[in-house]
Amino acid sequence: MAIQQRVLFLLATATVVSLAGCGGGSTANVQNPTLASQSQITIAFHPEPAGSLAVSFTENLTAVVTNDPNNYGVDWSLACSSSVGAGNCGSLSILHTASGGATSYTAPSTIPASSITVEIVAYSTASPSTNVVAPVTITSFNKNIAAGTYVLEAQGVDSSLNPYQFAAALVLDGNGNITNGEQTANYISGSLSDTALTGSYFLGSDGRGAITINTKDERIGQNGVETFTFVYLSSSHALISQMDLGNAATGVSATGTMDLQSTPQAPSGGYAFVVSGTDVLNSKPLSFGGILNIDSATGISGNGSITDEILAKKINATALGISGTLTARDQFGAVVFSLMAPFGSGNKLIPLQFTGYTVDNAHIKLIETDDSLTSVSPFGLTAGQAIGQGTATGTFTANSSFSGTYVFGLTGVDLSNSNTVPLTLTAAGLFTADGNGNFDSGFTDTFLALNTVQGTNANPQTGAQISLPFTGTYSVDASGTGRASLTSITFNPEPDHGYTPTLYFYLTGNGNPPLVLQSGDTHYPSLGAGIAYPQSTTTPTFSGEYGFSYAQDLSGVSENDGTAQLNVTPATTPPSLSGITDVNLDFGATQDQPFNGTFSVPTASGPFAGYLVGTNNSLLSSLAFSPQISIDYYFIDSGHGFFVETDLVNSVPPTTPPTPSGQVSFGYYATRTSLCAGCP
């Protein structure tokens, strides 16, 4: 909404809520000033209030008065239609603030329709006829999220850019309440878990929503409160982003997923897994993955189970054995894996413990909980996922087990200059495995935010980019576990100093995607973890309603994570999209931010380019998509894909002089189901 400077004139159908009637505030400090000249005084929201808010939710408000020599400040009021009722416009916590001081608006807990409009008015105390008005749409609760147990997971950073992981199982009652649940949160200081969770959730008509978790441990979240935004994809799936809403000033920023839990059986057979995070013992970034073959009700004997570890610049040359036990599922479907892995000096066995939150028979969200091991020091703080091999367990015995075209995406750490900040490596790409040990028709966009190897003394450059076609060879272990490894790779042309990453693929079969573990090399030191989806053979399309989640890192000094809903219109020239995002910016939630963009015609043989830009000009300096970021999209099928920012070191399109963004971004998009006829 453009800033308006006007006297508030309400029609006869509206009711002005007096300062005394707004609730929760006091006017004791309001003075009766000698009015200054109106032409000298201006007032503006800074920033403007969000365009919409859910029932019962709270938003912080500030307004700035300029040219007031006495600094009398701001008076606040609310107004809404008489059909709503004067007492149901919501409330303001403070009715008079200093210029730039904050008050909080809380939306009403119930409304008489699916939505109402409330006008928030900020007056210059010195000149009441100088005011600004922000209409805010209050939306009611949508019940498309069914009652049930939902598994949530997210990874990101804390306010000091240390790795952070979260996983939980929450019981939702279908009416906006969290009635039970358990969770684990991993901070750099250790792993914390609690149970008997409560809280609330909300889904608006546009598919965006919010979750508030009340924990039983005040060390988790801020004073025991965690908040998330999400975008609804279907009745069983949503994309989430942890950020600070209301009083939940945790300083945490992370993205992930929320999935309705089916009635899972006890885990059995092979599970491919990858996790990433921190090796606590060495204080270094860590990724590892492999296959866990659950060959008895409570055991992993080690037969058919393998693992690979990438610790900073150390890579295991051959697969190592791993074994252990697991517990029965608890009431929330969680199992505990107690493992022994050869990660120590001389491959000495080290105990590991993971809590696995089961989504269904094929999918488990993993989070490391070594702090629960009382007899030893914790090894790591990592999280990731496991995907079941099912009936394909043990059958991957030849290169023919790995064939088809795959689209991959991964994130990790650029290890340049001993960096430990996550999301400083992003990569997306595609390749065709021919079943005979060859990778054909490959292409990747790989970005290292802090690497300087591609610069020169004459033209120093921070950030490295590899956007190139490639070919290569691979080998599937004959043991049948499903481990495949890259044996050679050739880029055309070769990037500066060459680039020879190490890649492991853990195959899942049955049409499920392999998981991926990656390490860089001497000139491009890095590690990462991700997934490779089989690409559809259907004609590429990008059209209709989507949700997406994304994470951005600005030169290792800040991370922004968000979720959004968007509408894609391929019939325009050029094809265009627009949407609304909720994003963490500098560890503070910024909601309801509009953006738009364009893109080229989708292809399956390589990425299709586009850009995203924030459209609220008053916030251009802080919007996640401002002033503009360039994107490559990778088509998996008409339902989903990856995107990666491409202007870290090069202007796209080229400019003279170049205007690189200095940031990396990675995201995932998927179709979403509209909640009602005519809903956004």
The residue that leads in pLDDT, 127 or 619, is: 127
Of the candidates 421, 473, 445, 455, the one whose C-alpha atom is nearest the C-alpha of residue 523 is: 455
- What's the pLDDT band for 10 if we cut at 50, 70, 90? very low
pLDDT computed for residue 141 by the predictor? 67
Long-range interactions of 33-39: CB distance < 8 A, separation 24+: 33/70, 33/72, 33/125, 33/126, 35/126, 35/127, 36/67, 36/68, 36/69, 36/70, 36/126, 36/127, 37/127, 38/127, 38/129, 38/130
In the numeric block, the tokens 């450059």 are attached to 461
As a residue count, the chain comes to 680
Report CA dihedral (48, 51, 56, 59) to the nearest 10 degrees. -20
| Whole-angstrom distance, CA of residue 625 vs CA of residue 612 | 6
- What's the pLDDT band for 556 if we cut at 50, 70, 90? confident
The C-alpha angle 582, 203, 570, rounded to 5 degrees, equals 60
In the numeric block, the tokens 């481990």 are attached to 483
**What percentage of residues in the chain have a pLDDT greater than 90?**
65
Structure tokens belonging to residue 187 = 């901070």
pLDDT computed for residue 53 by the predictor? 81
pLDDT tens sequence across 340-367: 999 877 788 899 999 999 999 999 999 9
pLDDT tens sequence across 398-440: 999 999 999 999 999 999 999 999 999 999 999 999 999 999 9
CATH level 3 topology of 546-671 = Lipocalin (2.40.128)
- What's the pLDDT band for 374 if we cut at 50, 70, 90? low
Whole-prediction pTM: 0.82
Report CA dihedral (95, 100, 104, 107) to the nearest 10 degrees. 90
Lowest mean pLDDT among 82-91, 200-209, 640-649: 82-91
| Whole-angstrom distance, CA of residue 249 vs CA of residue 4 | 31
The residue that leads in pLDDT, 345 or 600, is: 600
Of the candidates 203, 200, 202, the one whose C-alpha atom is nearest the C-alpha of residue 225 is: 200
Q: Which CATH architecture has domain 399-534?
A: Beta Barrel (2.40)
Mean pLDDT to the nearest integer, 559-580: 93
The C-alpha angle 163, 228, 218, rounded to 5 degrees, equals 70
- In this structure, whether the domain defined by 148-260 belongs to CATH 2.40.128 is answered with yes
The 3-state DSSP class for residue 505 equals strand
Contact status, residue 196 vs residue 46, Cβ threshold 8 Å: no
CATH level 3 topology of 14-139 = Immunoglobulin-like (2.60.40)
- What's the pLDDT band for 587 if we cut at 50, 70, 90? low
Q: Cα-flanking dihedrals φ and ψ of residue 400, to 5°?
A: -65, -15
In the numeric block, the tokens 């909640």 are attached to 675
Mean pLDDT to the nearest integer, 265-272: 94
Burial class of residue 135 (count of CB atoms within 10 Å of its CB; 0-12, 13-18, 19+):
middle
Burial class of residue 101 (count of CB atoms within 10 Å of its CB; 0-12, 13-18, 19+):
middle
- What's the pLDDT band for 175 if we cut at 50, 70, 90? confident
| Whole-angstrom distance, CA of residue 192 vs CA of residue 214 | 14
| Whole-angstrom distance, CA of residue 407 vs CA of residue 641 | 8
pLDDT tens sequence across 52-90: 787 777 888 999 999 999 999 999 999 887 767 667 889
| Whole-angstrom distance, CA of residue 573 vs CA of residue 569 | 9
- Count the neighbouring beta carbons within 10 Å of the beta carbon of residue 119: 19
Examine the pLDDT at 635 and tell me if it is beyond 80. Answer: yes
Structure tokens belonging to residue 404 = 């088809």
Q: Which residues of 353-382 are buried (b: 16+ CB within 10 A; e: fewer)?
A: bbbbbbbbbbbbbbbbbbbeeeeeebbbbb
Of the candidates 328, 323, 327, 355, the one whose C-alpha atom is nearest the C-alpha of residue 339 is: 323
Q: Cα-flanking dihedrals φ and ψ of residue 297, to 5°?
A: -60, -35
Examine the pLDDT at 677 and tell me if it is beyond 80. Answer: no
Half-sphere CA count of 97, side-chain side, radius 13 A: 23
Mean pLDDT to the nearest integer, 319-344: 93
pLDDT tens sequence across 122-146: 999 999 999 999 999 887 767 788 8
- What's the pLDDT band for 3 if we cut at 50, 70, 90? very low
> What's the mean per-residue pLDDT of the chain?
87
| Whole-angstrom distance, CA of residue 16 vs CA of residue 9 | 10
Of the candidates 207, 208, 199, 188, the one whose C-alpha atom is nearest the C-alpha of residue 226 is: 199
